[in-house]
Structure 1
Amino acid sequence: MAINEFTYSKIPAEAETLRVEVRQFLSQTLSDYPPVLRAQSWMGFDAHFSQALGRKGWLGMALPKAYGGSQAGFFARYVISEELLAAGAPVSAHWIADRQSGPLINKFGTPAQKDRYLPAICRGESYFCIGMSEPNSGSDLASIKSTATRDGDGWRLNGQKVWTTNAHHSHYMIALLRTGEKQAARHEGMSQFIVDLSLPGITVRPIRDLAGGEHFNEVFFDNVYLPGDGLIGTEGKGWDQVTAELAFERSGPERFLSSMALIKTMIDAIGSRPDALQAAEIGRLTARLATLRNMSLAVTAQLADGANPAWAASCVKDLGNVFEQEIPELAQRLLDIEPRQQGGGDHARVLAYLMQMAPSFSLRGGTREILRGIIARGLGLR
């Protein structure tokens, strides 16, 4: 394990200057946006909002200018993302494409793939989902069974993905599929593909969650023909590419800001004169939030340096999920306000929503058990 995995990393001044303009934009654009919708944040889908961000140049911040990005770097993207999430903006439409699919294509894609996909991602017009988990596999990606077999100049896809966020809204999926016989080494024989979800033979079936929303999906591949240019990166190197991609997915501020709307309504409901318990707990939340933010920024610095901080990113996600999931419970201890799906005030409705959504926080992006296995290996314990 490297000693300096979480070296303090300050946001560069040129990136920090974006914050004021972003806050002004959000204040105007979301002036009448209710707290219960802000609670959905990076699960809230609004294509028009994403396209407005694209017109501002706030998508593809780390992508080259040649493909429509601003080439401003990972810290600039961090500032934008942090402000969007803190405000509870509806960012789901572009989120996965901007966070990980775009950088993945930029790193491993062919020039033709970059020309085809990256400009539309930067405009907020092209939406991606991630096809990793499968039935009976969960977060154990090495056990996937869905296949891509050679068929002339292309590929034939068969199998099923599950827990695929936003597949029902997405244009494309970056899918991890088995392209070779299962090897003695569990992580060999897999490849990644860019799959057009409008192709014949693909069925997307939404999974309704406890709060009544449809964010997760099942996706079925029934003898789907994919042209040869669907392969991204190197055949058989899918595992290495996926671990690099997961560092983007697991380390960002969305891993500890999902319950931010509830923190805000809780503080508003407590008011300016908290009792001793309320003041102490809000102080603890603030300290933990600051710590998680600094850890996330340390991972951002590693990504900016071209590293693959899988271990550190797993720490951020695991600790961030614990933090997010504790907030609804804490809110009920500090205030005598019951959760209400209908009626009640803003705090009651936001509390009800996040109580139902919080269990999913430690599912999406890798379960707690898988993350702690990665952390144990990073510490040399297994």
Structure 2
Amino acid sequence: MSSRVLPIDVMRVSPDLEPLRSEVRAFLDSEIRRGAFTPQCDSWLTGWDEPFSRRLAEQGWVGMTIPRRYGGQGRTVLDRQVVLEELLAAGAPVAAHWIADRQTAPSLLRYGSEQQRAEFLPEIAAGRCYFAIGMSEPDSGSDLASVRTRAVRVAGGWRLTGTKVWTSGAHRAQWFFVLARSAPDSGERHAGLSQFIVNLRAEGVTVRPIRLLTGEHEFNEVRLDGVFVPDRYVLGEIGSGWGQVTSELGYERSGPERLLTTFPLLAALVSEVRRRADRDPAAVVEIGALTSRLLTLRQLSLSVAGVLAAGKPADVAAALVKDLGTRFEQEVAERARILADEMLDPDAAPGTFTGHLVRGLLHSPGYTLRGGTNEVLRGVVAKALERA
């Protein structure tokens, strides 16, 4: 059964946007029919397909909210949301451009120099420039304020030394944003941090794989050994890195990819439950409960997107989306496992119910870890509620 069934069909944003949704669906259905890709869970992180990203860009569906003067479409957040939902529902291979489109472009628009915008934004919108994220470090977990990567001032720029981990796509991307300590520790953990735009092919950069349970290579450890970064690649202001990176996290944690990672599995599960509805009415109730939760979470994600589009901080609300959404994704995989009426075949073909189930289960431990562990994010939300 196509993924274009409950619940994506009731996820209406606005009647005016339905022609766009239909256009995206037709494109994706055509790509699937001609064998361009096989729908999969977690495709926004693991589905790296540069030609596909460029084909999306040719349709105007990458860099949609980037202003036209920088090569984008100048469209609204809701336009982009419709496209993202359809890409995720179809399990399309969008990993190559995802981070650049999701958070690099908005950060460049907000904090980047005119030179940086002119250099990177047109290439991002064309689906040709790919970024990774250099935040997390060994032994630091989700505590970004404890970063130990150092940036030392030298003639004409900075030299960076340190290690970043869980850097998605660093072995394929061309660039990444690096959060580093650019001033001695003053006792104020959030002071003295800065962001830098680092070429992943620069001298002194070493990328080592961190493999998933499936053996796939998506995450990396990136070592920086005195990497020179010219002044023109300082992002924003020196010393303002904490405020910049927390605003960036709002984009990273609140999008529909924190709800729809396992949507291809959910759609396949709906088909399985419908097939046996007469003999398993309890499963129908389970599907109804999952669907209602998804629709509620989707509304929360949309509301955060609106806040970010208005240029307002949304790090706390984004943390809430990420916590609730990724737990929901894990539950989809677990409920599908319980409701499955067949033995799991680890060699099942991708795109089948069993294939989606195996992949969803194997990838599910990472859902609540990447982008900040949920336990830490609950602390962020709790502290905000305490201050309120």
What TM-score do you get using the length of structure 2 for normalisation? 0.93
Aligned counterparts of 1:355 and 1:34: Cα–Cα separation in 2: 25
In structure 2, the residue matched to 1:84 is 87
In structure 2, the residue matched to 1:54 is 57
Of the three residues 367, 376, 380, the one matched with 1:370 is 376
Post-superposition shift, 1:15?
4.2
In structure 2, the residue matched to 1:244 is 247
4+ long deviations beyond 3 Å: 9-17, 32-37
Post-superposition shift, 1:363?
1.1
- Superposed, 1:142-181 pairs within 5 Å as 142-181=145-184
Determine helix, strand or coil for the equivalent of 1:217. Answer: strand
Determine helix, strand or coil for the equivalent of 2:52. Answer: helix
Cα deviation 1:302-348 (Å, max 9, x = unaligned): 11211111111111110001100111211122122232221478222
Aligned counterparts of 1:33 and 1:364: Cα–Cα separation in 2: 30
Aligned counterparts of 1:110 and 1:170: Cα–Cα separation in 2: 21
Contact 1:57 1:70 in 2 (8 A): yes
Contact 1:340 1:352 in 2 (8 A): yes
Aligned counterparts of 2:349 and 2:160: Cα–Cα separation in 1: 49
Determine helix, strand or coil for the equivalent of 2:371. Answer: coil
Determine helix, strand or coil for the equivalent of 1:174. Answer: strand
- More deviation, 267-276/142-151: 267-276
Give the paired residue count: 374
Distance 1:65 1:150, change over 3 A: same
Determine helix, strand or coil for the equivalent of 2:33. Answer: coil
Post-superposition shift, 1:300?
1.1
Contact 1:132 1:141 in 2 (8 A): yes
- Superposed, 1:95-134 pairs within 5 Å as 95-134=98-137
Q: AA paired with 1:309?
A: A
Aligned counterparts of 2:348 and 2:254: Cα–Cα separation in 1: 36
Contact 1:35 1:261 in 2 (8 A): no
Q: CA RMSD in A?
A: 1.8
Distance 1:15 1:63, change over 3 A: farther
- Superposed, 1:339-354 pairs within 5 Å as 339-343=344-348, 346-354=352-360
Q: AA paired with 2:134?
A: G
Contact 1:332 1:338 in 2 (8 A): no
Contact 2:182 2:238 in 1 (8 A): yes
Aligned counterparts of 1:194 and 1:171: Cα–Cα separation in 2: 10
Contact 1:10 1:297 in 2 (8 A): no
Distance 1:261 1:154, change over 3 A: same
Post-superposition shift, 1:123?
0.2
Distance 1:348 1:279, change over 3 A: same
Contact 2:63 2:72 in 1 (8 A): yes
Determine helix, strand or coil for the equivalent of 1:222. Answer: strand
Post-superposition shift, 1:183?
2.2
- Superposed, 1:188-337 pairs within 5 Å as 188-274=191-277, 275-337=280-342
Of the three residues 356, 363, 380, the one matched with 2:362 is 356
Aligned counterparts of 2:305 and 2:18: Cα–Cα separation in 1: 14
Contact 2:42 2:363 in 1 (8 A): no
Aligned counterparts of 2:337 and 2:164: Cα–Cα separation in 1: 36
Distance 1:338 1:315, change over 3 A: same
- More deviation, 183-192/336-345: 336-345
Aligned counterparts of 1:215 and 1:11: Cα–Cα separation in 2: 32
Cα deviation 1:182-209 (Å, max 9, x = unaligned): 1221111100111011101100111111
Distance 1:60 1:338, change over 3 A: same
Aligned counterparts of 1:12 and 1:269: Cα–Cα separation in 2: 30
In structure 1, the residue matched to 2:66 is 63
Post-superposition shift, 1:270?
2.8
Contact 2:37 2:93 in 1 (8 A): no
Cα deviation 1:239-274 (Å, max 9, x = unaligned): 100111010011110001011111122222233441
Aligned counterparts of 2:102 and 2:380: Cα–Cα separation in 1: 22
Determine helix, strand or coil for the equivalent of 2:361. Answer: helix
- More deviation, 262-271/152-161: 262-271
- More deviation, 131-140/28-37: 28-37
Contact 1:35 1:350 in 2 (8 A): no
Q: AA paired with 2:28?
A: L
Post-superposition shift, 1:17?
3.6
Cα deviation 1:74-95 (Å, max 9, x = unaligned): 1111111111001111000000
Aligned counterparts of 2:70 and 2:341: Cα–Cα separation in 1: 52
In structure 2, the residue matched to 1:4 is none
Contact 1:54 1:123 in 2 (8 A): yes
In structure 2, the residue matched to 1:40 is 42
Unpaired stretches in structure 2, ≥5 consecutive residues: 1-10
Post-superposition shift, 1:35?
9.2
Q: AA paired with 2:112?
A: G
Determine helix, strand or coil for the equivalent of 1:216. Answer: strand
Determine helix, strand or coil for the equivalent of 1:159. Answer: strand
Aligned counterparts of 1:302 and 1:321: Cα–Cα separation in 2: 21
What TM-score do you get using the length of structure 1 for normalisation? 0.94
Distance 1:213 1:263, change over 3 A: same
Aligned counterparts of 1:90 and 1:122: Cα–Cα separation in 2: 17
